[in-house]
Structure formats: C-alpha cells, structure tokens
Amino acid sequence: MRRHLIALLITGCSFATFGQQKDFKTELYMGVSGGATFTKVRFYPNIMESFLQGYASGIMFRLISEPHIGFQAEVNLTQKGFKEDSVGYTRRLNYVSIPIMTHINIGNKAFRFTLNLGPEVAFKISEQEKFSGTATPGYRSIYGQKSDGAVDLLFTVGMGMEYHLKSGRAISLEGRGFYSLPNLFDKNKYEYSISQGNGVQVKLAYIFELNKKRKK
C-alpha cells in the first residue's frame, strides 16, 4: 500500500510540474532606470565620514525562463565616493557598472516583490576631489592622489516591488546595497590597510516586455 501511495504522489507531482512548465511563458524585458546612490568608503584606520549622495542611471535586460526565477543584467552610470564634513573634503568617482544578477519574483502578474543579487564589475571613468573647508592637499596622504582601483568588483543585493500593466509595461521601485571587494587605495602606498567602498542605491525603473503577445 505504501509503495502504491508513493508512486501515486510521484506521478501527481510530475504532472503538476509538467503543467506548470507548460503554462509558463518565458518573459523578456528591457528597461531604463534612474535614481540616487549614498556611499562611503570603509577605511582602516578609520576616517570620520558621512554618506555622499550621487546618481545612478542605466538600462537593464531581464530574462525569466522559469516560474519566478531568471537573471537580470544592467549597464549603468554610477557615482560613488565619500566625504568628510569636518574638513570639507569630497571625492566623487564615476563608473560604468555592469551587474549580472539572479532575479527572483514573488506575486501575481500585476504586483510582484522582487529580489536581485549577484556580482557586479565597475570600470572607473573619472574622479574629482573638492575642498570646501580648511583642508589642504597635505592633510591626508590620499589627498591630491588618484585612487588606484581602475576596476571595482562588488557584490550587490536589491529588494523591490513592481506593478505590471496589461500592456506589458511595468514600473519598478528598488532599494539596493553593494559592497566592494578590492581596496580603493593601494595599501602598500598609503597607511590604510582597508579602503573598500560600500553604500545603498534607490532606483525607479520603467520596463516593458519585449515578447508580449498583442491582441488582434
């Protein structure tokens, strides 16, 4: 009796799985996004910092090939850095960043909660320093010096929500955190053994489904 029950359960699960796969339609999306970043650099020995506000904008591609699971790739212009209010010092770094993340969504076709997580590679394209207080370039050894990391490797995780319209378009709001793995400044050149960037990002995106079937 037990064997027959197990066989029946396995058969039922197989039919259920087959039915879900048959009913599921692959979703392919493209979109544009924009928002703000709030970043610091983790130094050791510590530096007293506050969050530096910057920008984030770009394009994204998403493929959902299984129910609720897919992947998302982006190409973004992202501004990061840090500031020291006590001495009026600001350093801004501009990157072209490419996150490639696992995408998970929970909900129905109209309203979904989303989770995106995965690695990100960022290429530095420019950086600027600004002194607005009493600080001079000799106040710290890194003042007046370019950062050493031309390529940044990060781990990124974001949570958000989306509202999907019947037309195949959607509006997405996401909060995202990221942490750099390499040091921003060479520890063999400066007194800082750790100088890793980190921060949060808030983004609003407008996306549309590329393979949406239009009603005749």
List of domains in the chain: 26-209 (2.40.160.20)
The string of DSSP letters for 46-71 reads ----BPEEEEEEEEEEEEEEETTEEE
Is the bond into 137 cis (omega within 30 degrees of 0)?
no
Separation between Cα atoms, residue 188 and residue 190, nearest integer Å: 6
Q: What angle do CA 5, 10, 14 make, to 5 degrees?
A: 145
Q: Give residue 208's pLDDT.
A: 92
Maximal CA-CA distance, the chain: 85
61 within 8 A of 72, measured Cβ to Cβ: yes
Number of C-beta neighbours around residue 81 at 10 A: 25
Residue type, 192: Y
- Smallest CA-to-CA distance from 36 within 76, 70, 86, 8 is with 76
CB–CB of 194/201 below 8 Å? no
How does DSSP classify residue 214? P
**Lookup: tokens for 75:** 């190409």
pLDDT string in tens for the chain (216-residue length): 444 434 433 344 333 333 444 566 889 999 999 999 999 999 999 999 999 999 999 999 999 988 889 999 999 999 999 999 888 899 999 999 999 999 999 988 889 999 999 999 999 999 999 988 665 656 789 998 999 989 999 999 999 999 999 888 999 999 999 999 999 999 999 999 999 999 999 999 999 998 876 554
pLDDT at residue number 212 = 72
Q: Cα(79)–Cα(126) distance, rounded to whole angstroms? A: 10
